[in-house]
Structure formats: structure tokens, C-alpha cells
Structure 1
Amino acid sequence: MNDALEISNVKARYCAASDLTPVDPAAALSGFRQVFTEDVVGDYGFRVFEGFEELTGFMTTVVAGSSDWMLHMVHTPLIAIDGDHATGDWTVMSQMKRSGSGQIDTVIGRYADEFRRTENGWKICRLRFERLA
């Protein structure tokens, strides 16, 4: 399979796992194991999470605890590959239904990710999210 397509599929699996966090945190965690390196760094603009456990702990508890459902939609990938390292930028729109209030929130932003080729294929080793709205 083409490296760029594999990287796009990794990002799609990240979105699918993220969307599972409110309804099935255990399945989301299993999905995250398929897409993140153990030393992943996640920068969401308000805090930097270092390592798989810290990042996914936040995603499967705080995010899962505040939403009834989530839907990530990523667009316009720009992927650059240099050997066993790659970068990928995506525009994202995410919608979520907030627990309790039932309010539907929409978040618009950009992802700037770094990928590393591992013995198990491409994985995200650094994720940066910039919220635009």
C-alpha cells in the first residue's frame, strides 16, 4: 500500500477511536493503541500530554465524561514523507453532544501531526491541534 494512503488511514483510525471515547472508552483505548507510539506527544493548545498513557487517559476520561457522542471529520490532507518519518496536516471539524445539557458544539481547527514508521506500520508520534473556532 502507498505510504500516504497508509498515513491517511492511520488518521482515519484516530478519528474513529476519538469518536468512540464517549460511548466505549475501552474500545477507544484499543483503537488508540493501533495509531499512537508509546512516546506520543499530544499538544491540544491548552496543555501538552506526554506519552501514550497520559494522552489517552485524558481522551478516554475527560472527553468521554463530557460528551454523549462525537464526530470527527478531517479534510484536505497534506502529507510529506521523508524515509521513516512523515508529517500530515488536516483541516478538522468535530461535533459533539454535551452530556447533561444536550448542547451540540462544533469545533473547527487544524491538525499538524508527525508519523513514524514502526515495525507495525505508520503511527502518530506527535499530534498538534490548533482550534480556530
Structure 2
Amino acid sequence: MLSQQEISDRFEIQDLVYRYAELIDGKRFDALRDTVFTADAHIDYSAMGGSVGDLEETLKFLKAALTDELFPASQHLNANVQVTLDGDSASGRVMCFNPMHMSMPDGSSQVYFIGLWYVDEYKRTENGWRISRREEEKSWVFNTPDFMDL
């Protein structure tokens, strides 16, 4: 049976995962610094063609890659949040279904879909749980624009 602390930790980590998705889809990238990641976080988006690096490199990448002009809308639906607790640290695996609405070079638009997993490490900080490491693991893509290599 789980203790009250373990139940609380699991809910806090689940909320953290959902907050990440909300901030990404809302393009409020700087808020990731204060409410989602640790200052020394390592983020690896390379499975889907993105950056690998520390938090500041990741924020720079997100701001350049996910502009309103290129991606007017996206949704990161997270599910199957699996968490293994170990005191003030934890690990997790999170399923993500990610439709992306993309503006095409000819003026049209296209929606494509990505299925991926986030493989995470979490740390309890004085401000609550934060992601200290996140790595994307590709599952599938559908309807990807011809010029993209995912």
C-alpha cells in the first residue's frame, strides 16, 4: 500500500508532466525554467530531430523551432504516466500523442501526428518536483510533411 507521501509525490509529478505540455503548447517557454525543469536539467529531443543540451540551449531551440508562424497550434497529450519513486528522486516514462499544425511553404497547412515517449528523471526541490532529465523516445509518425525527416 502506498503512503500518503508517495501518493502526493505521484500526483505532483503527474501535474508536472501536464504543466510541461501546457507550457509547450502555449509557447510559454520561459516558464519551463521556473516551474518544470531543474537549473541543471539535461534535455534530449534528438529522437524527433531536435536539440540536445542544457536548459538554456533547450529554451533557445524551442523559441526558434516552435514559432507561431511555423506551428500555429499543437497539442501534447500525455498519458500512461509511469513513475518509480526513490526518496527525493524518481524516474518516469510518459506516453505523448502530439498533433502538430504546420504552415507549409506554399501557404497551405498540414497536420501531422507524432507518437513518442518521454523518459524522465525527477528531483524534489525546495519548490517541488522538477524534471532533471528528459529524453524523447520515438514511437511513430503519421502524415509528416515530405521535406521533414522524422
Pick the TM interval, shorter chain. Answer: 0.7 to 0.9
Moved over 4 A (4+): none
Unaligned runs of 5+ in 1: 22-26
1:81 pairs with 2:88: no
CA distance 1:17–1:32, change in 2 (3 Å) = farther
Name the % identity.
Answer: 29
Residues 17-40 of structure 1: CA distance to partner in whole angstroms, max 9, x if unpaired? 11012xxxxx33224421011111
Q: Does 2:115 correspond to 1:120?
A: no
Question: How big is each residue's C-alpha offset from its partner over 1:30-89, in whole Å with a ceiling of 9 and x where there is no partner?
Answer: 244210111111112245522211111111221225311110101111101101110111
In structure 2, runs of 5+ residues without a counterpart are 141-150
Q: Partner of 2:23 in structure 1?
A: 17
- 1:43 aligned onto 2:44: yes
Q: Number of residue pairs matched? A: 128
Alpha-carbon distance in 1 for matches of 2:92, 2:126: 20
TM-score (normalizing by structure 1): 0.88
More helix by share: 1
Larger radius of gyration: 2
The normalised TM-score by structure 2 is 0.78
RMSD (CA atoms): 1.6
